[in-house]
Amino acid sequence: MPALPRWQLSEDNKLIRTRFVARDWAAAMRFFNGVSAIAEAEGHHPDLHLTNFREVSVELSTHAIGGLSLPDLVLAAKIDAIDVPLSAKWLKSPEGQPYASTPKTACPAAAD
């Protein structure tokens, strides 16, 4: 998705998702808290997943229509603006390239 390079459209075209590896547990939780504040303000709530203590995935769709709507895209753009320290090792991987090549946050050089 050119306007949202960190997000992928699902195979069934019903949702968009993004995945990343945060620097650590605390960074992932701060990200979730930031998403929570934005979601409450927008009145639109994503599905959030945290695995292996720092692997984050976010899925957006509009449940009422069973697919994507403009509020999903607006929320995705606002989520992308959240400052989150990312895993330096992950940023070097092919999966991390959309995050490494688009402005977001300076990733502190922390050991992974």
pLDDT tens column, 44-70 = 999 999 999 999 999 999 999 999 999
Instruction: Give the model's confidence band at 98: pLDDT under 50 very low, under 70 low, under 90 confident, else very high.
Output: confident
CATH number (domain holding residue 77): 3.30.1360.20
Full-model pTM: 0.84
Per-residue model confidence (pLDDT) at position 25: 97
Is residue 106 assigned to a domain? no
Q: 48 — phi, psi (to 5°)?
A: -115, 140
Print the domain residue range for 24: 8-93
Enter the tokens of residue 56: 């984050």
Instruction: Give the model's confidence band at 101: pLDDT under 50 very low, under 70 low, under 90 confident, else very high.
Output: low
* Percent of the chain whose pLDDT exceeds 70: 89
**What residues are paired with 14 via a beta bridge?**
none
Is residue 104 assigned to a domain? no
Neighbour-count burial for 16-44, b at 16+ CB within 10 Å, e otherwise: bbbbbbbbeeebbebbbebbeebbeeeeb
77-97: per-residue pLDDT in tens?
999 999 999 999 988 888 887
